[in-house]
A = this chain, B = another copy of it.
Amino acid sequence: MITLSQIRSAATVIAPHVVRTPLLPFGSGWLKPENLQPIGAFKLRGALNALARLENREKGVVAYSSGNHAQAVAFAARLHGVPAAIVMPDNTPPVKIEATKALGAEVFIVGITERVERAEALVAERGATLIPPFDHPDVIAGQGTIGLEILEDLPDVEAVVVPMSGGGLISGVATAIKSLRPDVRVIGAEPELAADIADSLKAGALVRWDPLKRAQTVADALRDEPSALTWAHIGKLVDDVITVSEDEILGAVADLARRARLIAEPSGAVAVAAQAKLGGAGVAVVSGGNVDPGLLARLLAT
């Protein structure tokens, strides 16, 4: 289990390079707009913490991701002068491949089933270090800095709503909050179509869903599942889960644009959709903003 002191240490390390996002009033609650980070997602916090603590820097890092983790590792590696190799599946939108290359990373495009194998091969060939998207204490501690900031800015907060997928974000945030304020409720948010953690919490043990089933949600950054490490945090620290429909997710994207002037990707709006079902109270983490412009245009035009 990660500790409060690991999160406090991460906060010091990443502070010069992340946006200190404010809490934005939103109805009767608040938003924590992590979509405003330089790469458009909270993932930068964990990647920066992991890169800052990296040993064997000259041999570089490897990551596999089609999404925000790819850009987060590329950004953090460039900042620390560390070579980065990113393995991306061949169905990744070209704009995300270009953005990762623009951050100076070496990009390898492979079939979706080959990405772990290729990443492990790169690690072996180069003696490089794999930076996982959530299954690592430094990554979790970096994401946990969001929890510290929420408590600093809103000491009387009652509930924090956090999207869940691999579980790195909520593991970190829940550790920060429960360590300092066990009375604050930490609520996970999941798409109904990828509600494996809701099932797991009901069962009291990690329940696996078929990856093809989880892949159906429009919240494409929430199709992962917890590791043993993140499940250990979630099972112990998360008070409740709220699941949301695809329509509720897209409605929250439109609502954020119209009422908060924020652009969120569907995954980034899942906690906001859950917050609405909670009556609007508490702090919802807007976790990312890398939406397809065409999708946003269609949502705004209706």
Which residues of A are in contact with B by a Cβ distance under 8 Å?
19-25, 33, 35-36, 38, 40, 257-258, 260-264, 289-290, 293-294, 296-298, 300-301
Q: Which 4 pairs, one residue from A and one from B, show the smallest C-beta to C-beta distance?
A: A261-B289, A297-B300, A297-B301, A261-B263
- Give 27 pairs: A residue, B residue, CB < 8 Å, sorted on A: A19-B22, A19-B23, A19-B25, A21-B22, A24-B36, A25-B38, A35-B261, A36-B261, A36-B262, A40-B261, A257-B263, A257-B293, A257-B296, A258-B293, A261-B262, A261-B264, A262-B262, A262-B263, A293-B300, A293-B301, A294-B301, A296-B297, A297-B297, A297-B298, A297-B300, A297-B301, A300-B300
Copies of this chain, complex-wide, total: 2
Q: Give the CA-CA distance A99 to B19 in the complex, in Å.
A: 30
Q: Distance in Å from the Cβ of A61 to the closest Cβ of chain B?
A: 22
CB-based nearest B residue for A41: B261
User: Which residues of B lie under 8 Å from residue A301 when comparing CB positions?
Assistant: 293-294, 297, 301
Query: A23, A25, A36, A257 — which one has the most chain B CB atoms within 10 A of its CB?
Result: A36
Q: Name the B residues within 8 Å of A290 (CB-CB).
A: 261
Whether the Cβ atoms of B289 and A300 lie closer than 8 Å is no
**Given B24, B260, B264, B300, which contacts A296 in the complex, CB threshold below 8 Å?**
B300
**What 13 additional pairs, Cβ within 8 angstroms, besides A19-B24, A33-B36?**
A24-B36, A25-B38, A36-B262, A257-B293, A258-B293, A261-B262, A263-B263, A293-B301, A294-B300, A294-B301, A296-B300, A297-B300, A300-B300
